[in-house]
Amino acid sequence: MTIIDQSAALPAGRPRNFMLDFFHMHETVILWLAVSSLVTFTASLIIVPLLVVRIPADYFSQRKRRRPPWANHHPLLRGILLVIKNLCGYVFILAGILMLVLPGQGLLTIFIGVMLLDFPGKYLLERWLVTRPPVLRSINWLRRRAMHPPLHASSPEYRLIYAAGDDEIFTSVQKI
């Protein structure tokens, strides 16, 4: 591929437009980003409300987390389901992070992804997130539109404590 220097063809005193040059050189990448953004936006408009509506209304009002539906199945099947659920969670979190800068419901998608992951202290983190007024308002707005009862999210008896160290950020849970 030969690169043609078009700066000689420009009239004297007229600067090059590097932004247009960039778009012309990367048309395919920009097209793929636009299409993937549109697909992600459309999918988030469909999937996120469906998942938010499926959360039981009293899920966050209990002190302890419910047992997963597959807890009594064969250990191999449990492991496979857990891996699939965690992979879906990571995909949702990644899509949510992308939707923070691209069109879509980024924060709700990240929240759904966190709910799908399994890690220690997850239920406390979920309860803490849901009790934030903007998050609870958004979730209950989606539930109200789907004619489902609002989430009953009481303030958790615990709070998350963040402390920054030299190279790490430490998170702990403290009982109030």
pLDDT at 70: 67
pLDDT at 107: 79
Left if phi > 0, otherwise alpha if psi is -120 to 50, otherwise beta: which for 67?
A: beta
The answer to the question of residue 15 being in a domain is no
pLDDT at 87: 95
CA nearest to 114, candidates 140, 90, 84: 90
The answer to the question of residue 99 being in a domain is yes
Give yes or no: residues 126 and 113 share one domain: no
| Parent domain of 175 | 122-176
Which of 103, 118, 133 is where one domain is finished?
118
Give me the DSSP letters along 44-103. HHHHHHHHHHHS-TTTTSSSSPPPPTTTTS-HHHHHHHHHHHHHHHHHHHHHHHHHHHSS
Counted domains in the chain: 2
pTM, full prediction: 0.52
The answer to the question of residue 58 being in a domain is no
pLDDT at 84: 93
Q: Tens digit of pLDDT per residue, the chain (176 long)?
A: 555 555 555 555 566 778 888 888 888 888 887 787 788 778 778 887 888 888 888 888 777 776 766 677 788 888 898 899 999 999 989 888 887 887 667 777 787 888 888 888 888 887 888 888 888 888 889 899 989 998 887 655 545 454 445 554 444 545 55
